[in-house]
Amino acid sequence: MPRDGDDDEERGKKGGRERAGTRYIYTRRRSPIGLLKRNRLVLALTVCVLTFIVRAYRYYPATSTQSPPSPCPNELGGASNDILVVLRTGATEALSKVPIHFSTTLRCVPNYVLYSDLEENIAGHRVHDVFANGAISHALSESHELRFYHHLKKLGRQGLLALQATTKHDSSLGTTSDNPAWQLDRFKFLPMISQALKHRPSAKWFVFIEADTYLVWQNLVSYLRLFDATKPLYIGKHMYMDDVLFAHGGSGFVLSRPAMLRVVEQRDAHVARYDALAKESAAGDMLLGKILADVQVPLFSAFPHFQGDAVTGLDGNVSKVERRPWCYAPVTYHHMREDEIRALWGFEERWMRESDKLLRHADVFKSFLLPRLRPKLDGWDNFSLDSIDSSSDSAAAVPSTADCEARCEANSACLQFSYETAAGNCATSTRVVLGEAARRQCVEYSSAAGRCVRWQGDGDDDNKDSRMGNTTPGLVQSGWMMHRLQRYVEEMDSMCSQEKMSIWVV
């Protein structure tokens, strides 16, 4: 608690003196001149003390009484107020995934709104029911596809307890037919557009993210300044499904206000058509891509600003649409766990405080990821998938981690390796990825999904999760060729300087 200093206590001045058991009854005459001098001395001392206190508080304010410096950049100005951030979630994940954002990614965002399939309050923040207030047609509301929503609306969180015993209801477990939460999610997108527009009709930009999306707010605001908000714009990470090009929802995407208006008007004019498409579509972000194509709003592919990978799974040298992330500025990361969000926010906070430059993927690697790499980490998989020597082939079996490391060392281009001690699998790679804690080795990583989809011993089951919390330290060991990483960084940096690349795709 702040301390303002101890108050001076007024001390009584007595004409006589007292001693235990004895009382002096004489009085002493005081000279008027002496009293005047004494009063002047007391007054002078009082003035000196007060002057010292005032100056001390002016020049040496007690740090505990001051608010900590804000991590939010001041130079963003009014552009921040032109943006509404919309976080889409669901009742099955909201309590575990949403709260971390209030103290991290959303901390500097002046205007945001949360939409879910259940209205509730989380950490003092209102979560809105995306289907409420006539956001969907009566016919769609009464369809069997929305039974899970009505189950939640009627029973609330109590209704989830019975569901846990019979189904996989956590949307993070995969996109399976027995996952009612994921099946319901595709119906949220179009009502979310109309609800967000009603929530803040004055916004120029609407930015949509999910509960496991990390948003680099300062970079986002700077990026959107490069676009004309008066035009119908659709910005995000490209993805194809059933020959439909759309912005991947988990990577985050942006719509200008004119684009939002076109979507709402088109849907209102053809309700039955888009209700039917919602039932047929595999995903809601794909459905949104369809309706935007119908109203002639094409997708602007903003990779590598919008990422489908977690920061720990990103390869800064991967090439998509002829772009490599390294030289560009990140706006989002996807599949981010709470611990990853907290750690990255701590780094970003320091970066904003100490640097006047916008954060690039290269900066994230050099200052956030590189210091965490080691010659060997136990219970860790760094997704080394370029070459895998399997123990199923006795001739190719690798007997130890040291032998696996030696194989990487023998290849001058190899930068990292992983070894599963139980299976004897050795995997090497020419890319550099941090990876994650694991109990088994990843044998198939989906760049489209931004995560590992099959582990050693899983067969074709892509829904098992070996991430932190279900780990057996030592079962998987990973390492990096530390003596080669400095040259790797220099070569990557030279790519940016030689081409004099902009950090933005416009």
- Answer yes or no: do 168 and 102 share one domain: yes
Q: CATH no. for residue 255?
A: 3.90.550.50
Q: How far is Cα 365 from Cα 311, in angstroms, rounded to an integer?
A: 9
pLDDT of 298 strictly over 80:
yes
Reported confidence tier of residue 488, pLDDT bands at 50, 70, 90 = very high
Residue 482 belongs to a domain: yes
pLDDT of 64 strictly over 90:
no
Give 243: exposed, middle or buried? Use CB within 10 Å, 0-12, 13-18, 19+: exposed
Task: Specify the pLDDT at position 426.
Answer: 93
Residue 178 belongs to a domain: yes
- Answer yes or no: do 29 and 117 share one domain: no
pLDDT tens per residue, range 5-30:
444 444 444 444 444 444 444 444 55
pLDDT tens per residue, range 208-226:
999 999 999 999 999 999 9
pLDDT of 32 strictly over 90:
no
- Answer yes or no: do 59 and 86 share one domain: no
- Answer yes or no: do 156 and 288 share one domain: yes
Task: Give the end of a domain, one of 9, 32, 65.
Answer: 65
Q: How far is Cα 316 from Cα 429, in angstroms, rounded to an integer?
A: 14
pLDDT tens per residue, range 380-439:
999 998 877 655 555 557 889 999 999 999 999 999 999 998 888 899 999 999 999 998
Task: Specify the pLDDT at position 378.
Answer: 93
Task: Specify the pLDDT at position 475.
Answer: 84
Beta carbons of 364 and 345 less than 8 angstroms apart? no
Task: Specify the pLDDT at position 67.
Answer: 52
Please state, in angstroms and as integers, the Cα–Cα distance from residue 284 to each residue in 191, 195, 200, 281, following that order: 11, 15, 22, 7
- Answer yes or no: do 86 and 57 share one domain: no
Percent of the chain scoring above 70 in pLDDT:
77
Task: Specify the pLDDT at position 9.
Answer: 41
pLDDT of 151 strictly over 70:
yes
In DSSP notation, 405-417 reads HHHHHHSTT--EE
Q: How far is Cα 169 from Cα 189, in angstroms, rounded to an integer?
A: 19
Reported confidence tier of residue 36, pLDDT bands at 50, 70, 90 = low
pLDDT tens per residue, range 180-202:
888 999 999 999 999 999 999 99
Reported confidence tier of residue 468, pLDDT bands at 50, 70, 90 = very low
Task: Give the end of a domain, one of 254, 270, 301.
Answer: 301
- Answer yes or no: do 46 and 130 share one domain: no
Residue 362 belongs to a domain: no
Task: Specify the pLDDT at position 389.
Answer: 67
Strands (E), 363-468: 377-378, 380-381, 387-389, 416-420, 425-429, 436-437, 442-446, 451-455
Task: Give the domain extent around 399.
Answer: 377-488
pLDDT of 471 strictly over 50:
no
User: What is the rounded average pLDDT for all residues in the chain?
Assistant: 84
pLDDT of 462 strictly over 80:
no
- Answer yes or no: do 124 and 243 share one domain: yes
- Answer yes or no: do 195 and 121 share one domain: yes
Record the tokens describing residue 89, joined without a space: 């979630």
Task: Specify the pLDDT at position 398.
Answer: 86
- Answer yes or no: do 58 and 169 share one domain: no
Task: Specify the pLDDT at position 164.
Answer: 64
Domain count, the chain: 3
Beta carbons of 325 and 333 less than 8 angstroms apart? no
Residue 462 belongs to a domain: yes
Task: Specify the pLDDT at position 322.
Answer: 87
